[in-house]
Amino acid sequence: MASEIDVRRLRLPEIPARRLFVGLAAVAFWVWLLAQWTNDWVLSRLGVGPGAGEQPLEREPIDGLAVDIVASADVYGPLAGVVEWIGSFVGMIAVAVDIAPALAAGAWYTIVLTVVSILLGLLIAVPLAVVRVYGGPLRWPALGYIELIRGTPLLVQLFVLYFGLPLAVWLHGVETVGQGPIPDQAFIIAIIGFTINSSAYQAEYIRGALESVDRGQLTAARSVGLSQFEGIRYVVLPQTLRYAIPAWTNELVYLIKYSSLAAFITVPELYFRASRIASRTFEYTAIYASLAIVYIAIVLTATAIMSRIETRVAIPGLGQAEGRHQGQTEGERT
């Protein structure tokens, strides 16, 4: 018996093929992204490597390989179409290699814009949701703000902030804006716009979670001497924020994709850079396919991080992540 236990301990854990593939793809993506950022921000300033915005791989050899494959397609007879498709795919890889530095730079803006906006939006959304549920007459101004923001397109809100208000002119006059680590006025306005928009949606997600907490818990908190604010702060909100994590994850995914709207006010994020290159080279399919892969990788990473957070903060028997997997078999969960 003892020897069987020892063998089980020495055996490597079984990892499903799907999870292994996704994990390897995620590692490859982030290794590339971090290596490109390190090259652009650190190595290039030290005079090491190919320089900022460049990479060690050259496009020409891969392009040559794609041309050779397509040229040899007729040799394969009935499989000529498949060989031509392989050649086209290799050609798309050559394009992806060529635009990789630009996509890496754009990914930085997309990630920063998303993370900062959702965190600042959360700071606004929590008190807004509390007021919506417990604020008495104050709930109506909060409701007005939420419905105004949710009822208008994000792009319109960005245009109002960037073109309609003197905010861009005022920021342009500030000497430190656009200098060093401080972003330019377009990026700052994009963060303001995304924060405002996200706060309204997050407030509704949190309101729904607030209302799912039994009001008897707040009554019990009051009965032991806590004020209503303390009861909300120490009893209701900790549960609420746990309940809201799945909806919050959806909001994070939406923000990552909607960050492409910042391109319309000249923020050089992912879509902005890809569309500029595509309009110059007319290689739309390869460029937008590469862009989609980058977005998918960022979204899957964000989803995985939020899933891990949800599991770590779950309270046994109270809104656990496992409780939302009803009807699935053990194999499906893995």
SS in 3 state form for 45-70? CCCCCCCCCCCCCCHHHHHHHHHHHH
Q: Which amino acid is at 45?
A: R
CA distance to 222, 248, 257, per residue, from 295 (Å): 47, 18, 7
The pLDDT of residue 331 is 47
The pLDDT of residue 333 is 45
pLDDT band for position 153 (cuts 50, 70, 90): very high
Query: Which two tokens mark 180?
Result: 């060093």
Question: At residue 129, does pLDDT exceed 90?
Answer: yes
pLDDT band for position 330 (cuts 50, 70, 90): very low
Select the more confidently predicted residue: 20 or 332.
20
CB of 237 within 8 A of CB of 228? no
Question: At residue 332, does pLDDT exceed 50?
Answer: no
The whole-angstrom separation of Cα 111 and Cα 96 is: 20
Average pLDDT over residues 104-112: 95
Average pLDDT over residues 24-41: 91
CB of 171 within 8 A of CB of 189? yes
- CA nearest to 269, candidates 301, 291, 245, 247: 291
Beta pairing partners, 318: 315
Q: What are the strands, taking DSSP E only, across 202-326?
A: none
CA distance to 80, 95, 134, 235, per residue, from 224 (Å): 79, 66, 19, 12
Select the more confidently predicted residue: 151 or 328.
151
Percent of the chain predicted with pLDDT > 70:
90
Select the more confidently predicted residue: 330 or 270.
270
Select the more confidently predicted residue: 136 or 194.
194
Total H helices, total E strands in the chain: 15, 0
pTM of the complete model: 0.86
- Which of 9-18, 122-131, 162-171, 231-240 is predicted least confidently? 9-18
The whole-angstrom separation of Cα 228 and Cα 134 is: 9
Select the more confidently predicted residue: 245 or 3.
245
Average pLDDT over residues 140-150: 95
3 state SS of 318: strand
The pLDDT of residue 12 is 59
The pLDDT of residue 169 is 85
Mean pLDDT of the chain: 87
- CA nearest to 273, candidates 66, 55, 106, 77: 106
Question: At residue 158, does pLDDT exceed 80?
Answer: yes
CB of 272 within 8 A of CB of 106? yes
Question: At residue 111, does pLDDT exceed 60?
Answer: yes
pLDDT band for position 108 (cuts 50, 70, 90): very high
Using the Cα atoms of residue 188, residue 189, residue 190 and residue 195 in order, give the sign of their dihedral.
positive
Question: At residue 287, does pLDDT exceed 60?
Answer: yes
pLDDT band for position 52 (cuts 50, 70, 90): confident
pLDDT band for position 152 (cuts 50, 70, 90): very high
3 state SS of 226: coil
Percent of the chain predicted with pLDDT > 90:
59
Select the more confidently predicted residue: 110 or 181.
110
The whole-angstrom separation of Cα 138 and Cα 149 is: 17
Question: At residue 21, does pLDDT exceed 70?
Answer: yes
Question: At residue 203, does pLDDT exceed 50?
Answer: yes
pLDDT band for position 59 (cuts 50, 70, 90): confident
CA distance to 28, 111, 235, per residue, from 24 (Å): 6, 21, 41
Question: At residue 319, does pLDDT exceed 60?
Answer: no
Give burial (CB, 10 Å; 0-12/13-18/19+) of 28: exposed
The pLDDT of residue 314 is 81
The whole-angstrom separation of Cα 192 and Cα 195 is: 5
The pLDDT of residue 327 is 44
The whole-angstrom separation of Cα 242 and Cα 256 is: 22
The pLDDT of residue 7 is 57
Question: At residue 16, does pLDDT exceed 70?
Answer: yes
